[in-house]
Structure 1
Amino acid sequence: MGNLTGAVQTAPLRSYEDAVEWINGLIPFGIRPGLVRIQALLERLGNPERRLKFVHVAGTNGKGSTCAFLTEVLHRSGYDVGTFTSPYITKFTNRFQYNGEDISEDTLLKLANRLHPLVQEIAATELGSPTMFEVSAALAILYYASECVPDVVVWETGLGGRLDVTNVIHPVISIITNIGMDHTDILGDTIAEIASEKAGIIKPGVPVVSAVTQPEAIQVLKDAAERNRSTLYLAGDHFSYERTGGHAESQTFHFSGPFRQMDIEISLLGEHQCANAACAMMSLEVLHYYMAFVIEDEHIKQGFLATKWAGRLEQISSSPRIVLDGAHNPEGAESLAKSLPNIFQYNKLNLMMGMLANKHHEAYLKHILPIVDTLILTEPDFRRKMDVKALGDIVEQLREKHAKQTLQIIIEPDWKNALELLKSRTEAEDLGVVSGTLYLIADVRSNLLGLSDSEKGW
Structure 2
Amino acid sequence: MNYEEAISYIEKVSCSGIMPGLVRIQALLEKTGHPEMDCNVIHVAGTNGKGSVCTYIASILMQAGYKVGRYVSPTLFDYRERIQVNGEWISRKDTAYWMSRVREIDERMQSEGIEGASAFELETVMAFLYFKAMACDFVVLETGMGGRLDATNVVPKPVLSVVTSIGMDHMHFLGNTIEAIAVEKGGIIKEKRPVVIGAGRQKAVDTLIRISLERQSEYAVVRAEDVHMTYADLFGGQQFDFESYKELQTRMVGRCQPWNAAIAVKAVELLGKMTATDCPVQLDVLPKDVLSEQVVRKGIASAYWQGRFEVMEKNPSLIIDGAHNPDGVQSLVDSMKAYLSDKPVILVMGVFADKDYRQMLEMVSDCSDTLIAFKPDNPRGLAAEQLKETAEPFFKRTLAAKSQAEALAIARKIGEGNHAIVCFGSLSTMAGWYQLTGRKSSDEEYRQNY
Q: Aligned pair 1:217/2:204, yes or no?
A: yes
CA contact (8 A) 1:30 1:131 kept: yes
CA contact (8 A) 2:371 2:391 kept: no
> How far 1:363 moved relative to its partner?
1.8
CA contact (8 A) 1:346 1:429 kept: no
Q: How does 1:278-317 map to 2 (within 5 A)?
A: 278-291=262-275, 292-293=286-287, 294-317=290-313
Determine helix, strand or coil for the equivalent of 2:301: helix
Determine helix, strand or coil for the equivalent of 1:370: coil
Q: How does 1:352-431 map to 2 (within 5 A)?
A: 352-396=348-392, 398-399=393-394, 403=395, 407-431=396-420
CA distance in 1, matches of 2:299, 2:305: 13
CA distance in 2, matches of 1:59, 1:117: 33
Distance 1:120 1:297, change over 3 A: same
Deviation per CA, 1:201-247, whole angstroms, max 9, x where unpaired?
Answer: 0000011101122222122111110111001101249x932222211
Distance 1:378 1:236, change over 3 A: closer
CA contact (8 A) 1:33 1:163 kept: yes
Q: Which amino acid aligns with 2:304?
A: K
CA distance in 1, matches of 2:115, 2:344: 53
Corresponding residue for 1:7?
A: none
Distance 1:178 1:127, change over 3 A: farther
CA distance in 2, matches of 1:275, 1:318: 25
Deviation per CA, 1:339-389, whole angstroms, max 9, x where unpaired?
Answer: 113124652201111011111112211211121132100011011111222
Q: Which amino acid aligns with 2:383?
A: D
CA distance in 2, matches of 1:221, 1:318: 41
Corresponding residue for 2:92?
A: 105
> How far 1:126 moved relative to its partner?
4.7
> How far 1:427 moved relative to its partner?
3.1
CA contact (8 A) 1:66 1:277 kept: yes
CA contact (8 A) 2:324 2:351 kept: yes
Q: Aligned pair 1:152/2:141, yes or no?
A: no
CA distance in 2, matches of 1:442, 1:370: 27
Corresponding residue for 2:256?
A: 272
Q: Which amino acid aligns with 1:357?
A: A
CA contact (8 A) 2:353 2:381 kept: yes
**Poorly superposed stretches of 4+, deviation over 4 Å:** none
Q: Aligned pair 1:60/2:47, yes or no?
A: yes
Corresponding residue for 2:188?
A: 201
CA distance in 2, matches of 1:381, 1:162: 30
Corresponding residue for 1:5?
A: none
Corresponding residue for 2:3?
A: 16
CA contact (8 A) 1:354 1:437 kept: yes
Q: Percent identity of the aligned residues?
A: 34
Unaligned runs of 5+ residues in structure 1 are 1-12
Corresponding residue for 1:443?
A: 432
Corresponding residue for 1:8?
A: none
Distance 1:413 1:128, change over 3 A: farther
Distance 1:71 1:437, change over 3 A: same
CA distance in 2, matches of 1:222, 1:113: 42
CA distance in 2, matches of 1:142, 1:273: 32
Single out whichever of 267-276 and 170-179 deviates more from structure 2.
267-276
Unaligned runs of 5+ residues in structure 2 are 276-285
Q: Aligned pair 1:242/2:194, yes or no?
A: no
CA distance in 2, matches of 1:224, 1:44: 31
1:342 to 338, 344, 347: 338
Q: Which amino acid aligns with 1:270?
A: G
> How far 1:442 moved relative to its partner?
2.0
Q: How does 1:111-260 map to 2 (within 5 A)?
A: 111-146=98-133, 148-169=134-155, 170-236=157-223, 240-248=226-234, 249-256=236-243, 260=244
What is the CA RMSD across the aligned residues, in angstroms? 1.9
CA contact (8 A) 2:50 2:164 kept: yes
Deviation per CA, 1:165-210, whole angstroms, max 9, x where unpaired?
Answer: 0001131000001100111111111101100100000000011101
Deviation per CA, 1:14-57, whole angstroms, max 9, x where unpaired?
Answer: x2121112112211111111111111111111101111100001
Single out whichever of 214-223 and 64-73 deviates more from structure 2.
214-223
CA distance in 1, matches of 2:440, 2:217: 45
Deviation per CA, 1:275-322, whole angstroms, max 9, x where unpaired?
Answer: 111100000111113344021222211111111111101111234421
